[in-house]
Amino acid sequence: MGICDSTMGLSNTLFVMAFLLSVSAFPFLGAASIKSQAYFNETGHLPCHFPNSQNISLDELVLFWQNQDKMVLYELYLGKENPDNVHAEYKGRTSFDQDSWTLRLHNVQIKDKGLYQCFIHHKGPKGLVPAYQMSSELSVLANFSQPEILLISNRTENSDIINLTCSSTQGYPEPKKMYFLLETENSTTKYDAVMNKSQNNVTELYNVSISLSFSVPSETNNVSIFCVLQPEPMETELLSPPYNIGAKPRETPLPDKDHTVWIAGLLLTLVIVCVMLLFLTRRKWKKRQPGRSRECETMRVEEKESEQTEERVENREISDEARRVVNISKTASGD
Ligand SMILES: *[C@@H]1O[C@H](CO)[C@@H](O)[C@H](O)[C@H]1NC(C)=O
Ligand SMILES: *[C@@H]1O[C@H](CO)[C@@H](O)[C@H](O)[C@H]1NC(C)=O
Ligand SMILES: *[C@@H]1O[C@H](CO)[C@@H](O)[C@H](O)[C@H]1NC(C)=O
Ligand SMILES: *[C@@H]1O[C@H](CO)[C@@H](O)[C@H](O)[C@H]1NC(C)=O
Ligand SMILES: *[C@@H]1O[C@H](CO)[C@@H](O)[C@H](O)[C@H]1NC(C)=O
Ligand SMILES: *[C@@H]1O[C@H](CO)[C@@H](O)[C@H](O)[C@H]1NC(C)=O
Ligand SMILES: *[C@@H]1O[C@H](CO)[C@@H](O)[C@H](O)[C@H]1NC(C)=O
Ligand SMILES: *[C@@H]1O[C@H](CO)[C@@H](O)[C@H](O)[C@H]1NC(C)=O
Ligand SMILES: *[C@@H]1O[C@H](CO)[C@@H](O)[C@H](O)[C@H]1NC(C)=O
Ligand SMILES: *[C@@H]1O[C@H](CO)[C@@H](O)[C@H](O)[C@H]1NC(C)=O
Among all ligands shown, which has an atom nearest to the Cα of 326? Answer: 10
Give the neighbor-by-neighbor strand order of the sheet with 114-124.
33-39, 127-141, 114-124, 61-67, 72-77, 80-81
Report which of residues 263 and 96 the model is more confident about: 96
213 CB within 6 A, ligand 6: no
Average pLDDT of the chain is 77
Identify the weakest region by mean pLDDT among 52-66, 89-103, 185-199, 219-233.
219-233
pLDDT at 312 over 80: no
Percent of the chain with pLDDT over 90: 54
Q: Kindly report, residue by residue over 11-45, the tens digit of the pLDDT.
A: 443 343 344 344 333 333 334 689 999 999 999 99
Residue 308: what pLDDT?
52
- β partners of residue 136: 34, 116
Residue 95: what pLDDT?
97
Q: Which of 149, 150, 152, 154 has most ligand 4 atoms within 8 Å of its beta carbon, as the pocket-test mutant?
A: 154
Q: 247: CA distance to ligand 10 center in Å? A: 8
Residue 235: what pLDDT?
78
pLDDT at 259 over 80: no
Rounded to 5°, the CA angle 90-93-96 comes to: 105
Q: 257: CA distance to ligand 4 center in Å? A: 20
Identify the weakest region by mean pLDDT among 115-119, 161-165, 279-283, 290-294.
290-294
| Fold that domain 148-245 belongs to in CATH | Immunoglobulin-like (2.60.40)
Alpha helices in the chain (DSSP H): 2-25, 253-287, 294-334
Residue 288: what pLDDT?
58
CA separation, residue 71 to residues 39, 98, 154 (Å): 22, 22, 55
Q: Kindly report, residue by residue over 187-211, the tens digit of the pLDDT.
A: 899 999 999 999 999 999 999 999 9
Percent of the chain with pLDDT over 70: 65
Residue 274: what pLDDT?
57
256 CB within 6 A, ligand 5: no
Identify the weakest region by mean pLDDT among 83-97, 141-155, 230-244, 271-285.
271-285
Identify the weakest region by mean pLDDT among 35-39, 174-178, 316-320.
316-320
Q: 218: CA distance to ligand 9 center in Å? A: 18
Among all ligands shown, which has an atom nearest to the Cα of 108? Answer: 1
Residue 250: what pLDDT?
42
Q: 110: CA distance to ligand 6 center in Å? A: 23
331 CB within 6 A, ligand 6: no
Among all ligands shown, which has an atom nearest to the Cα of 57? Answer: 2
Report which of residues 288 and 293 the model is more confident about: 288
Report which of residues 212 and 294 the model is more confident about: 212
How far, in Å, CA of 19 to CA of 318, rounded?
76
CA separation, residue 286 to residues 11, 99, 280, 292, 295 (Å): 111, 90, 10, 11, 16
**Residues across the chain:** 335
How far, in Å, CA of 126 to CA of 194, rounded?
64
24 and 94 Cβ atoms separated by less than 8 Å: no
Under DSSP, is residue 31 helix (H, G, I), strand (E, B) or coil? Answer: coil
Q: 326: CA distance to ligand 1 center in Å? A: 51
Q: 222: CA distance to ligand 4 center in Å? A: 13
How far, in Å, CA of 171 to CA of 144, rounded?
4
Amino acid identity of 148?
A: E
- Residues touching ligand 8 (Cβ under 6 Å) are 201-202
59 CB within 6 A, ligand 5: no
Please enumerate, as own/partner, the contacts of 88-95 that have beta carbons within 8 Å and a separation of 24 or more: 94/65
- Measured torsion, CA atoms of residues 109, 111, 117, 121, in degrees rounded to the nearest 10: -60
Under DSSP, is residue 311 helix (H, G, I), strand (E, B) or coil? Answer: helix
Question: β-pairing, 127-141 with 33-39?
Answer: parallel
pLDDT at 94 over 70: yes
Supply the residue whose CA is at minimum distance from atom 10 of ligand 9: 163
Atom of ligand 4 nearest to the CA of 249: 7
Rounded to 5°, the CA angle 36-42-43 comes to: 50
Mean pLDDT of 256-279: 63
196 CB within 6 A, ligand 6: yes
Among all ligands shown, which has an atom nearest to the Cα of 330? Answer: 5
| Fold that domain 2-141 belongs to in CATH | Immunoglobulin-like (2.60.40)
200 CB within 6 A, ligand 6: no
Rounded to 5°, the CA angle 13-18-22 comes to: 150
What DSSP string describes 89-113? GGTTSEEEETTTTEEEE-S--GGG-
Residue 286: what pLDDT?
59
CA separation, residue 125 to residues 35, 48, 63 (Å): 36, 24, 18
